[in-house]
Amino acid sequence: MLFSEFEQNELDISSFSLELFTRFNNESQAAYLSRSVELLCDILHTRLGLLADLNRLKEEDFTVDEIALIDEIVLQAQMQCDSSNANNELNLSLLSDLIAYHDRGELGSSMDFDTTQRSRMFFDIQYAKASAKRESYWNTLFFLFNTSSTRRLAKTMLDGKKILLFGGGRSKLNVELNNHNINPDFLLNVDPFVDNLEIDSDEVVSFSAADSKLPSVLNQKSVNQVDEIWAEFSVPAYLHETNKIKILFENIHALLAVGGNARIWPLKVSGVGESSICRARKQMLIESVRWICSQANYELNLFKSAGSWGMVLTKLDKFNVSFTSKEVSLKVKNISTSN
Ligand SMILES: C[S@@+](CC[C@H](N)C(=O)[O-])C[C@H]1O[C@@H](n2cnc3c(N)ncnc32)[C@H](O)[C@@H]1O
C-alpha cells in the first residue's frame, strides 16, 4: 500500500501527517528507522494510551493500517541513499542525559556472568526471562517491532554480512537467523566469560571486546573488517576499568568496515549513583563516542527501547573533520589519567 492510498482517518490519529514517514534525501537507514519508529510509537500511544508497553506488542496486536504503515516503513528503509556528512553535535550533546548506570557489582569470571545470562534471542522475546522479558536483539538494536515485513527487512540487512557479537554469552543467533532464512557470511561471539557451550551455540572467540589486542586476535582468524558489531547488554555496561571503555571504541573503529554499523544497547556504564568513578566511566563513554565520531564520517543515532537508550554508529563513506583527532585524544587521555 502506498501513502497516497491511506485514508488518514483510518488511523486512530487524525492529526498525523503520513508524509512524515517519507525518507529524506541523504537520510541513512539507521536514522530513518529511529525516526520512523518514534512516529509510529506516537500513533500507537494515541490508540492504546500513553502507558501502553509497546515493547510487548506482537504482530496480531496491530491494526491492518498499522501493519500497512510498517510495511511502508520497511520499503522506505530499503531505498538506497547517498550518505552525506553527518552532523552529530546535537546527539553528542544529549548523551550525558541518556547514559544510565547498571549495578551488578564487579563481575569477573564465567561463574559470575552465568547469573547475568538471559539468552536473548534475535527476534523472539523470552517472556520468562525476568528483566529481559521485553528484549530481543532485533527490538533493542534495530527496530522496536517484529512483523513478517520487518523480518524481510532483517534479511536484506544481514544476508552475507560479517557480524561480531560483543558479549553474546551462550547466544544461538546463527541457528535462529538461519531458521528465518537469514544467512550472514559469519556471526562470531567475542566473549571472554562463557563456558559449557551447547552444540548449537554461536562460535565464541574467548577474548575481551575491550582488549587492545582484539583486532590482531581476530586478524589471525582472517577476520579484518566487519559489517555489524552488536553489543546487547554487555559492553560497556559490564566494564569496570574506565580506560577499557576507550579501548572498546578504538576496537570498534579498527574493526568496522565503511558502511558498517556498531549497535550498542543499553547506554549504561557500570556502577550506581554519582561517585567519582561512576562519573568518570560516564564521561569516558561520552568522550569515546566523541572520539570515534572524529576519526571517520560516523553518524550517531540514538533510540529508546525497553526503557533504555541505545546507539547506532554508522561508518559513512566520506571523511568528516569536525574537530581534530589530536584535540579529542588529548581529552580522552586527560580523563583516563585522572582516575
Ligand atoms: C547480561 S549478559 C548478556 C548476554 C547476551 N548478550 C544477551 O543479551 O543475552 C552480559 C555478557 O557480557 C559478557 N561480557 C562481560 N565483559 C565482557 C567483555 N569485556 N568483553 C566481551 N563480553 C563481555 C559476559 O560474559 C556476558 O556474557
**DSSP string computed for 143-207:** -S---HHHHHHHHHHHTT-EEEEES-TT--HHHHHHHTT---SEEEEE-TT--S--TTSPPEE-S
Q: How far is the CA of 15 from the centre of ligand 1 (A)?
A: 44
pLDDT beyond 50 at 136: yes
Q: And the C-alpha cell for 71? A: 510495511
Question: Which architecture characterizes domain 89-337 according to CATH?
Answer: 3-Layer(aba) Sandwich (3.40)
- Residue 16: pLDDT band with limits 50, 70, 90: low
pLDDT tens digits, one per residue of 299-334: 999 999 988 999 999 998 754 333 333 333 333 333
234 lines ligand 1 (CB under 6 A): yes
Rounded Cα gap, residues 210 and 231, in angstroms: 12
pLDDT value of residue 126: 74
CA–centroid distance, residue 132 to ligand 1 (Å): 14
Question: Percentage of the chain surpassing pLDDT 70?
Answer: 82
- Spacing, Cα 163 to ligand 1 middle (Å): 16
Please work out whether the CB of residue 296 comes within 6 Å of at least one atom of ligand 1: no
- Residues 149, 160 contacting (CB under 8 angstroms): no
pLDDT on residue 50 = 92
Q: Is 189 in the pocket of ligand 1 (CB under 6 A)?
A: no
Mean pLDDT estimate for the chain: 85
Strand partners for 229 = 164, 262
Rounded-to-integer distance, Cα 120 and Cα 240, Å: 23
Residue 148 burial by CB count (10 A; 0-12/13-18/19+): exposed, middle or buried? Answer: exposed
pTM over 0.85: yes
Task: Tell the residue nearest (CA) to atom 1 of ligand 1.
Answer: 116
Q: So what's the pLDDT on residue 221?
A: 95
Rounded Cα distance between 285 and 136, Å, is 24
Residues 6+ apart with CB under 8 A from 128: none
With cell 561520552, the residue in question is 286
| Alpha carbons 184 and 196: distance in angstroms, whole number | 25
- Distance, in Å, from the CA atom of 288 to the CA atom of 292, rounded to the nearest integer, reads 6
How many A from CA of 110 to the centre of ligand 1? 10
CB of residue 113 inside a 6 A radius of ligand 1: yes
For the chain, give every residue range classified as CATH 3.40.50.150: 89-337
230 lines ligand 1 (CB under 6 A): no
Q: Is 310 in the pocket of ligand 1 (CB under 6 A)?
A: no
Question: 57 or 85: which carries more pLDDT confidence?
Answer: 57
Cβ of 193 closer than 6 Å to ligand 1, yes or no, is yes
Residue whose C-alpha is closest to residue 33's, from 128, 144, 113: 144
Closest residue (by CA) to atom 10 of ligand 1? Answer: 234
Residue labelled with grid coordinates 572498546: 248
Whether residue 282 has pLDDT greater than 70? yes
